Every structure is written in structure tokens, then in C-alpha cells.
């Protein structure tokens, strides 16, 4: 890819955590179009600490993203794409997501 070209990112539903972060950054770039379905949405709380007790461990996050306080949390929601591609049973046998992304790229 050359500098100055438009970039399209095909968004896979299995993206989470660092994938959420990548898509959030990519969506802010003026030449990026994100195509697909929402990410997993597992990045509002991070950096898990563990406290061990007899018979169990308590795991808890020690970091919270600033956007949570602004009412813009993504946990359980995900990062939405610019162009949403609904999942259909046909997606099992044919890569409709890639087909749509290539069509968007051709425009």
C-alpha cells in the first residue's frame, strides 16, 4: 500500500481487546473504512490482578478506559464498523464479508 491510499479494514467478529483497540484507532483515520460486524467489546477494563484465597482466586481489573466515564463503553457491545455486514447462513459456505469488502474497495 502506498502513502495516501485509502485503506479498508475487514472487521472480524472475533476481534477483542487489542483488536478492539486497533479498530478504534483505525476508525479515526480519514482514509479508513471498516467493514464487517462489531468487535467483541472486551477492552473497557484491563490489566487483571489476582488475589489468591484458600480454594479460589479473585481476578479483578486495575485499569478502566476513560471512555467508560463518558458513557461510551464498548464491553458487551463492541466497536461498530462503518459498513455493517449482517451474518447470514450463507456466510458459512461463502466469504460474503470479503466479497463486500472487495466491492467497497473497487468503488
User: Does the pLDDT at position 15 exceed 90?
Assistant: no
pLDDT at residue 98 tops 90: no
| 31 against 71, higher pLDDT | 71
Question: What percentage of the chain exceeds 70 in pLDDT?
Answer: 87
Domain 7-98: CATH architecture, name and number where available: Alpha-Beta Complex (3.90)
pLDDT at 77: 92
For the cut 60, the answer to whether the pLDDT of residue 41 exceeds it is: yes
Q: What pLDDT was estimated at residue 6?
A: 61
Q: What is the pLDDT of residue 74?
A: 93
For the chain, give the secondary structure using H, E and C. Answer: CCCCCCEEEEECCCCCCHHHHHHHHHHCCCCEEEEECCCCCCCCEEEEEEEEECCEEEEEEEEECHHHHCCCCCCCCCCCCCEECCCCHHHHCCCHHHHHHHHHHHC
Assign 8 a pLDDT band (cuts: 50, 70, 90).
Answer: low
pLDDT beyond 70 at 4: no
CB 16, CB 46: distance < 8 Å: no
Amino acid at each position: 500500500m502506498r502513502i495516501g491510499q485509502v485503506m479498508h479494514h475487514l472487521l472480524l467478529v472475533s476481534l477483542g481487546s487489542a483488536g478492539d483497540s486497533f479498530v478504534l484507532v483505525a476508525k479515526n483515520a480519514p482514509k479508513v473504512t471498516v467493514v464487517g460486524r462489531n468487535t467483541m467489546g472486551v477492552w473497557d477494563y484491563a490489566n487483571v490482578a489476582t488475589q489468591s484465597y484458600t480454594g479460589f482466586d479473585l481476578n479483578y481489573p486495575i485499569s478502566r478506559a476513560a471512555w467508560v466515564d463518558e458513557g461510551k463503553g464498548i464491553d458487551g457491545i463492541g466497536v461498530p464498523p462503518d459498513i455493517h455486514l449482517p451474518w447470514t447462513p450463507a456466510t458459512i459456505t461463502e466469504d460474503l464479508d470479503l466479497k463486500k469488502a472487495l466491492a467497497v474497495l473497487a468503488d
